[in-house]
Amino acid sequence: MSTRADVERADEAVERPTSRWRRAVDAVDERMGLKALAYEVPEHANNLAWSLGALTAISFFTLLVTGIYIAQWYNPMPEVANQSVRTIMTSAPLGALARGLHYWAAQAMYVLALLHMVRVFLHGSFKRPREGNWIIGASMLLLTFLAIFTGTVLKWDQEGFEALSHNLDVAELVGGLGVWFTGDLAPELPVVLRLYTAHAVIIPGLLLALFVLHALLVKRHKISPHPAIPATANESAAPFTHHLKRAGAYGLVLIGVLTALSVLVPPIIGPTPVEGIETTRPLWLFWWFFPFEQWFGVASVGIVMGAVFLLLFLVPFLDRSTRRSWRERKLAVAVLALIALGMLAISIYVWINNARGH
């Protein structure tokens, strides 16, 4: 039979690990402020649609990890860049898997960022006082677009070479503003090396800084209310750490899908480039402006891209009403739908008429 002393000793044994754990957490929090993550998140933000931003972040950190790994074998000099990618795919330990994850995570990040911004737009989550965070998000989307473009060039196969050629053509049209993208800035260094610096250092650094600022502003302004839920409703809430668990579960599914794609549909690497010919079709996310060069000349490519991203940045200043539900903002939603349909139609046109390239 257990005595009272035995029971007390058992209780102490149960409590001691918990108290030690709590002391450890408190000690770390005292120095790092981790409990700041315990701010409340309303229940409506715990579904998949409202977790798209977190999934975008998971894609980004997947890119960071895999990018650091494959950078150990990549050589940005034009003479050997293509062969170094082949070495990653054939000789580096888990190199093919790492490059596949990098390739598919980049596209996932772009798609998820777009879907996240569509969700924010439809729910009016960009409106006062969150206009600044929309601009930060649009900047991150633009940087993601540039990261994928520079990554395409770094393969230094025929597709990458042609992508760089178009980049140089557009850069020359804007004069001095485009000198960074040409060989005139530092003639002794190849442009590929400069784009590698942008791809591996500048763009990820800017994305990371904007991500931190984006997250701080979300905490500052709190999760935006759902337009379909009245402000007077007593909606339940949970700590942000609970939201992270939900997002982490979605993230594991995402990583699983990316891994499967990396194994089943690995990215290809084309032959070393041949100057003076155009035979490739760019990655699908560039299709929406791809034919404009053929229709209206090189200048139209820069104009179309600039106009689309400028419109994206101006959204908070063009849609200034207090109405948040997409059902009450028919004009704004109609404009979004027309732009999306136009981009989709052009992409389908490229797919049908440029099945194998130019």
The string of pLDDT tens digits covering residues 214-273 is 999 998 998 999 998 887 778 888 888 888 888 999 999 999 999 999 999 999 998 889
Is the pLDDT at 15 greater than 50, yes or no?
no
User: Which domains are delineated in the chain?
Assistant: 43-230+256-353 (1.20.810.10)
- Angle between the N-to-C axes of helices 131-154 and 298-318, in degrees from 0 to 180, rounded to the nearest 10: 160
Q: What DSSP designation does 156 have?
A: -
How far is residue 338's CA from residue 259's CA, in Å, rounded to a whole number? Answer: 35
C-alpha dihedral over 208, 213, 218, 220, to 10 degrees? 150
Is the pLDDT at 10 greater than 60, yes or no?
no
* Confidence tier at 179 by pLDDT (50, 70, 90): confident
- Which residue in this structure is represented by tokens 């093919």? 96
Is the pLDDT at 118 greater than 60, yes or no?
yes
What mean pLDDT value characterizes the chain? 88
How far is residue 132's CA from residue 26's CA, in Å, rounded to a whole number? Answer: 34
C-beta of residue 45 within 8 angstroms of C-beta of residue 242: no
Is the pLDDT at 3 greater than 60, yes or no?
no
Residue at 48: amino acid letter: L
- CA 299 from centroid of its chain's CA atoms: 27
Q: What DSSP designation does 137 have?
A: H
Answer left, alpha or beta for residue 233, where phi above 0 means left and psi between -120 and 50 means alpha: beta
Q: What is the pTM of this model?
A: 0.88
Q: What is the pLDDT of residue 8?
A: 52
C-beta of residue 237 within 8 angstroms of C-beta of residue 39: no
- Which residue in this structure is represented by tokens 């104009």? 303
Residue at 9: amino acid letter: R
- Which residue in this structure is represented by tokens 């139609």? 345
* Confidence tier at 114 by pLDDT (50, 70, 90): very high
How far is residue 161's CA from residue 280's CA, in Å, rounded to a whole number? Answer: 10
How far is residue 326's CA from residue 47's CA, in Å, rounded to a whole number? Answer: 19
Q: What is the pLDDT of residue 156?
A: 94
278-336 pLDDT tens trace: 778 889 999 998 888 888 887 888 889 999 999 999 999 999 999 999 999 999 999 99
63-99 pLDDT tens trace: 999 999 999 999 999 999 999 999 999 999 999 999 9
Residues 73, 179, 193: CA angle, nearest 5 degrees: 10
Q: What DSSP designation does 187 have?
A: T
How far is residue 342's CA from residue 258's CA, in Å, rounded to a whole number? Answer: 29
- 49 or 293, which is more confident: 49
**Burial bucket for residue 2 (CB in 10 Å: 0-12, 13-18, 19+):** exposed
